[in-house]
Chain A
Amino acid sequence: MQRSNDLILKTTTTIIVFIIMGFSIYLFFAGHNAPGGGFIGGLMTSGALVLLYVSYGFKTMERVIRFDFKNFIPIGLLIAVLTGVGSFFFGQPFLSHTDAYFELPILGHTHLATAILFDLGVYFTVVGVTMTIILNIAADEGEEELSKQNM
């Protein structure tokens, strides 16, 4: 298939992807106190990735992103489960969360909650799921196009 020269799309994508990524990370971290969280953050990240795939195509992206998004799903689920299991070590029921203030070197007085770890699991799962579904369907379409042309 002949690709048209979509320079404008590629250029804007390069800029916009960073903005979307930044927004998604913001949503993820803001989740505890403002609208946002792992789910929306994950969806936003996938949005950015999809945009990259749309403008640069599979072949280019395969060279840029070497890992398989399918692996995100078990990783995310594992993080979420381990967060829950972690509370056993403190004699608490499954999935008990805690939070506290810490004095960190750079950030100073910081509020940290174990719930963020759980949210991280959600985030990874959502990214893995969305990307797996979209990329697989898209790849399948491409293959069918090819086989149709060969016939």
Chain B
Amino acid sequence: MLHAAVLLPFLAAFFIPFIYRGVKQVHLGWFVLAVPILLFGYFLTFINGVLKGVHTLKTFEWIPSLGVNVTFFIDGLGLFFALLITGIGSLVVLYSIYYLSKAEKLGHFYVYLLLFMGAMLGVVLSDNLFVLYTFWELTSISSFLLIGYWYQREKSTSGALKSMVITVFGGLAMLGGFLLMSDITGTTSIRGIIENADLIVNSPLFTFILILVLLGAFTKSAQFPFHTWLPDAMEAPTPVSAFLHSATMVKAGIYLVARLSLVFAGTDLFFLIVSGFGLLTLCWGSYMAVRKTDLKAILAYSTISQLGMIMAMLGFGTKAAILAAVFHILNHATFKGSLFMVAGIIDHETGTRDIRRLGGLFTFMPITATLALIGTFSMAGFPLPILNGFLSKEMFFKSSLHFEHASPIVEAVSPFFPYFAVGGSIFTFIYSVMIFFRTFTGKQRDTLEKQPHEAPIGMLISPMILVALVVIIAIIPDTFGHLLLAPMVDSVTNLVVDPHIKFWHGLYNPELYMSLAVLIFGTLLYMTRTKWVRIYDVLPGKMSAAKVFDALMNGMVKGSEKVTNIYMTGSLRHYLVYILTFFIALLAITMSVTGGFTLSFDDLAPIALPEVMIAVVMAVAAFGTIFMNNRIAAILVLGIVGYGLSLLFVFFRAPDLALTQLIVETVTVALFLLCFYHLPDLDKEKSSSGTKVVNWVISISVGVIVTLIGIASHSTKMFEPISDYFIKNSYKLGGGDNIVNVILVDFRGLDTMLEILVLGLAAIGIFTMIKLRPGKKGGNE
């Protein structure tokens, strides 16, 4: 049943194109809507079990021999994310029905969206590391498809490519970490790994594993410095941004860190990396968001900074911090989802998302404005009892003040954390306020393409539900705390918490003053923002992550092109130099390392005078060919070497070889002459003296190496030769006295057969080259 639930979106994705073709009158989204709603209802039924501590586990054997089985597992954490995915998924599908017109390619859109939903469910419910990885990459791919949905726009495709490159880079790093983890613990199950956590923590590869796994989590969750893909992913249709890039996919990394917290948490390295980068992302994201003028870009940077905040809390690792983190995941999903939808509505009804051109929309769009008001103020953490963002922000401040484990490093860095937290929150306050006031208040500009008016009710339903949730959660946080958050904290830390969330902490609590500081400084800075906005020219200046990424990509393409151009010159001489140099280096190194060179004079035949004379003549002729300036003469002199060889065969008593060599040499010399005679009179290539020296060195080294190998191999006799067998059995088995011929046609007949095949192919090759030249008949060559 659980497997069917995860499979349902994939199945639906398979049937969607058929429905799309068949039913034209009804918007395709209505058919899709049933899927997430059904799943949401199905997952709701698990709440009771999870509350009682019953964890559902279902296994389907996939590759049992490798321990890779599709095991789905429902505990507090997985159930919460499953509800989030299907719940927000239903709202997004509903919203998209009104957002996307029927003229768009709806079939594509919903297939990708359903694929993504299924993959995301797989990620959060998998118990098997490698199944999790499979679904993880599937989310990357479907997100790539969704970002590039309007593929005719260049910005969409480049944004899709960027997100693909970064998330797949992280995904592969994560796979490496997973492999090491499963290798060390001997299991592929996440629960099994958690049970054997001490094996991983104490292994020498721990640092390596942690960094690899966190690379995966950080790239997916857009942590600094990998956050640069998220603003570019805003080219996707707004429902996609609301679903993937605020509520679900970017939280996959958060999920992974939370899921593996039981393995890594408690170590200093985990604490430093996760909370350090989390805080850095929080500050950088909120700082950069203030600079942006596009609504979706502001929301994208805001998402980055909020994810950094959640990540930081996961890094703190205390009970209170984890509770705050999971609470903020829920809150962020509600208000950020609604804000994206509001941004989509504004875009849809006015034709622009640029806050410099918007203003005074309150009178035209009162409902949208109210929704935006609650969403942005909740994001800012405005101290009102109906805003859930304030509650989780207070908890964040509180958790940044108290740390449980007391290693020297933690004590050294932790005092700085509250300042970062407050700093990041001040900027969060500024951009949240900026979104609302610059869009909905002030003067109305008359440059808009459309006359602004209120959105259709269907488009407003989804953000209304989300904003209602914002308020409901804020009013009755304890109910949600008991139902969802407590089981989640339990699965992240194995501790039972009392999820009692208060609005008022009393007058003497530092977090109250931190919130007040945020409120006061935020208001002041917002009022005076025209004065200090120039600071952005200094920082980031030219060093934004997007520019670094572009420079890196360009550098890699250009750099590899340069490297390739250096050695791929197109000159055969150069390639020959490489090949021979490697040949020499390999053989020389092998011979010197293994001590392979031996010299023995045991088995040498006496040297006769004619042999010496022939050898001298051949050597002189060989040298002569090098210095010949005339090609024809060089060929003829080379012939001397060939005939000398056949003479040597005679002296070495190899009549068959001598005969063959004689005829073959004649034929080749004749053919060479024929070809060279007709070659055009080109000037001889004049090579520089440096090249000549290199050529000399290489050819002499090749000669020396081959000679040494020849001597060495003659001096080492490991086995008796098998030629005795041939001599004895040539007549008995082969029926002939000519041993060479009997070997050729009888003992080793297969070689001969293939050699005549080679000859035949050569002849056919020559025939085709001569007869079937292009342009031969037309004569236009």
Q: Which residues of A contact B (CB under 8 A)?
A: 27, 30-40, 43-44, 47, 70, 73-74, 76-77, 80-81, 84, 94-95, 97-99, 111, 113, 115, 118-119, 121-122, 125-126, 128-130, 132-134, 136-137, 140-141, 144, 147
Complex Cα spacing A136 to B770, Å: 7
Q: Is the CB of A118 within 8 A of B656?
A: no
Q: A-B contact count, CB below 8 Å? A: 137
Hey, which bits of chain B sit against chain A, CB under 8 A? 655-656, 659-660, 663-664, 667, 671, 674, 678, 734-738, 740-742, 744-746, 749-750, 752-753, 756-757, 759-760, 762-764, 766-767, 770-771, 779
Known contacts A128-B763, A133-B766, A136-B770: A35-B753 contact under CB 8 Å: no
In the complex where A122-B752, A132-B763 touch, is A31 in contact with B664 (Cβ < 8 A)?
A: no
Nearest 5 interchain pairs by C-beta:
A99-B735, A32-B736, A35-B655, A33-B737, A129-B763
CB distance from A24 to the nearest CB of B (A): 11
Note all chain A residues with C-beta closer than 8 A to B663. 40, 43-44, 47
Q: Do B760 and A128 have beta carbons less than 8 Å apart?
A: yes
Q: Given A34, A111, A125, A147, which contacts B760 in the complex, CB threshold below 8 Å?
A: A125
Which residue from B735, B760, B763 sits with its C-beta under 8 Å from A32? B735
Contacting residues, chain A, for B749 (C-beta < 8 A): 84, 95, 97, 115, 118
Q: How far is the CA of A34 from the CA of B655 in the complex (A)?
A: 9
Set B656, B659, B760: member contacting A77, Cβ < 8 A = B760
Closest A residue to B656 by beta carbon equals A35
- Set of chain B residues within 8 Å of A40, measured between Cβ atoms: 656, 659-660, 663
Q: Indicate if the CB atoms of A136 and B667 lie closer than 8 Å.
A: no
Q: How far is the CB of B140 from chain A (nearest CB, A)?
A: 54
A95 to B738, CA, bound (A): 19
In the complex, besides A81-B753, A125-B759, 14 extra interface pairs with C-beta distance below 8 angstroms are A31-B738, A32-B738, A33-B738, A73-B764, A77-B757, A95-B750, A97-B734, A115-B746, A126-B756, A132-B764, A133-B671, A136-B770, A137-B770, A144-B678
Assess the B762–A129 pair: CB atoms within 8 A.
yes
Knowing A140-B770, A141-B674, the reply to whether A36 touches B746 (Cβ < 8 A) is: no
Whole-angstrom distance between the Cβ of B643 and the nearest chain A Cβ? 16
Residues of B within 8 A of A94 (CB): 750
Closest CB in chain B relative to A147 CB, distance in Å: 8
- The answer to whether B763 and A115 have CB atoms under 8 Å apart is no
Contact assessment for B756 and A77 in the assembled complex, using a CB-CB cutoff below 8 Å: yes
A126 to B756, CA, bound (A): 7
Give the complex CA separation of A79 and B627 in angstroms: 47
User: CA separation between A27 and B745, bound complex, in Å?
Assistant: 15
Give the docked Cα–Cα distance between A12 and B660 (Å): 25
Asked, given contacts A43-B660, A95-B749, A115-B746, whether A122 binds B756 with beta carbons under 8 Å apart, the answer is: yes
Q: Give the distance in Å from the alpha carbon of A39 to the alpha carbon of B756 in the complex.
A: 9
> Judging by beta carbons under 8 Å apart, are B664 and A34 in contact?
no
| Closest partner residue, chain A, to B735 (CB atom) | A99
A119→B745 contact, CB < 8 A:
yes
Contacts of B734 in A (CB 8 A): 32, 97, 99, 113, 115
Query: CA A128 – CA B779 in complex, angstroms?
Result: 29
The residue on A at minimum CB distance from B765 is A133
With a cutoff of 8 Å between Cβ atoms, the chain A residues found around residue B674 in the complex are 137, 141
A134 CB contacts on chain B under 8 angstroms: 671
Residue of A nearest to B677 (CB): A141
Q: Which residue of A lies closest to B678 (CB)?
A: A141
Nearest-Cβ distance from residue B430 to partner chain A, whole angstroms: 84
Partner of B766, one of A35, A36, A77, A137: A137
- Chain B residues whose C-beta falls within 8 Å of the C-beta of A140 in the assembled complex: 770
**Residue among A37, A76, A111 making CB contact with B745, cutoff 8 Å:** A37
